[in-house]
Amino acid sequence: MRTRLVGVAAATAAAALVLVGCSNGGATPTETGSASEEEQSEIETAAANADPHAPEVDTLRAALWQGPISAQFFIANDIAQENYGLSLTSDWMTDANVGRAQLAAGEIELTPGSPYGAVQLIQGGTDTVIVAGNYISQPGEVMVFALPGSGIESVADLAGKTIAMTSVAGVHPNRIRLEIQKAGGDPNSLTVVASQYGEMAAQLNSGVVDAVSVAAFALANIKKDAPDAVKIFDLGEGPYAGRPENVWSTTRAFYLAHPNAIAAFQCSIAEAGKLANEGPAMVDFMKNVLEWPQAVIDVALPPISAEGPIPLDKLQADWDEEVALNGSQPFDVSTILVPWPTNC
C-alpha cells in the first residue's frame, strides 16, 4: 500500500478546482434535484451485469484521511488483491477538497466524504455516484467542549457564540445549528472558525473561541491542555447515530466504464469493514500504519466501519438538514447510489 501526504498548497489548488466546477461529463441533475431516470437506468443496468471477479483495471486509486477511518481501505486492499486481482493504492489528504478535485480531474478513482459532499460535487459540476459506506456515526466520536464558567452548558447556549471546527460548513456545523434552532435560538448566530485539533485547546483557553468540536482520537490534546473543559454536546448521539458519516464516491463516467472494478471494491470494502470492527485489524492499522503510540491506541474510540449497503433513510438525512437550514436545493441522494453486488 503506497501513501504520501498531499500538502496545503495542493489543498488550496484543489479547492479552486472544485469551485470552478470541473466536470467528468454526463447529464446534469433534474430540476427536482436527483439523477434523471435515464441516468439511474444506466447505473442499474451496469450494476446488474457487473462481475467483481473480472475487474476492467488492476488498480484503483484513492485519497484518504490520515486516521482510523482509513483502516477499512487498507484492509480492503488485501481482500481485493486476493479475491479479485485488484490493488487499492492511496495518498493521504489534508482537506476534503483535495480528494474532490483529484476525483474531478481523473487523478484518482475513489474519494471518501459525506453524502452531503457527494451532492455538493454534483451541484458543482462533477457527475458523482456513491458506491459504498466508509464509517458510521456513533456516540463519543465527535464532541463539543466548553470551559466551566463560560455560560455554555448545552448546545443551545452556543447561539451567538464562536466554535472552532475542522470545517466551517458541512454535516457537523449543520447538526449544531439544527440543535440551536430546535432550542429556539438563531442557528445563523453561530460563528464557525476553521482550526486544527492541535490548536483548539489554546484557542479555547485564550478565549479566541467559546467552544471546540473534537474527534475522539484527538481528545488527548484537550485533556492535556484544557483539562477543565467539559462536554456539552455529542454529534453522534440521538438522531445522528447510525448515519453514514463518510461514503466512497467515484464519477459516473468511471463507474459506467468500470462496473466490475467497482463491484470488486464494494465486495472488498464490506468484508474489510467487518474485520475492522472486530478489533485486531484496526489496532494493527493504528500501530503500524498511523504509527500511534500504544497509550493513544488504548484510549482511542475506533470508528464503526460500514459492512454493506447503506440504509437509504440514513443516507438522505444530512442533505435534508442542509436544505432546511441553508435553503440548498432538495436532492434525492438515493438516485446517485450504486446498487450493491450480489455475486461477491
- Of the two residues 74 and 34, the one the predictor is more confident about is 74
Please say if the pLDDT value at position 44 is more than 50. yes
Domain final residue pick, 204, 238, 272: 238
Split into its structural domains, the chain has a count of 2
φ and ψ at residue 245, rounded to 5 degrees: -65, -40
Any domain includes 122: yes
Q: Are residues 32 and 165 in the same domain?
A: no
- Mutual angle of helices 312-326 and 171-182, in 10-degree steps: 70
**Domain harbouring 200, CATH code:** 3.40.190.10
Kindly state the percentage of the chain with pLDDT values over 70. Answer: 90
Tell me: do 128 and 42 sit in the same domain. yes
Q: What is the per-residue pLDDT across 277-296, written as a single tens digit (0 to 9) for each?
A: 999 999 999 999 999 999 88
Average pLDDT value over all residues in the chain: 87
Q: Are strands 128-136 and 244-251 parallel, antiparallel or unpaired?
A: antiparallel
Residues 119 and 35 reside in one and the same domain: yes
> Which contacts of 298-303 are long-range, i.e. CB under 8 A and separated by 24 or more positions?
299/219, 299/220, 300/68, 300/216, 300/217, 301/138, 301/140, 301/141, 301/216, 301/217, 302/68, 302/276, 302/277, 303/68, 303/69, 303/71, 303/135, 303/136, 303/138, 303/141, 303/245, 303/276
- Based on the fold, state whether residues 128 and 158 are members of the same structural domain: no
Tens of pLDDT, residues 304-319: 999 999 988 888 999 9
* 81 pLDDT higher than 50: yes
Name beta bridge partners: 215: 142
54 and 128 in a single domain? The answer is: yes
In the predicted model, is pLDDT for residue 250 greater than 70? Answer: yes
Q: Does 246 map to a domain? A: yes
Give the residue numbers spanning the domain of 56. 8-137+242-336
Residue 33 pLDDT: 67
Across 40-44, 96-100, 226-230, 278-282, least confident range? 96-100
In a domain, 113, yes or no: yes
Domain shared by 215 and 260, yes or no:
no
In this structure, the answer to whether residues 129 and 14 fall within a common structural domain is yes
Q: What is the mean pLDDT of the segment spanning 108-119? A: 90
Looking at the fold, whether 175 and 274 belong to one and the same domain comes out as: no
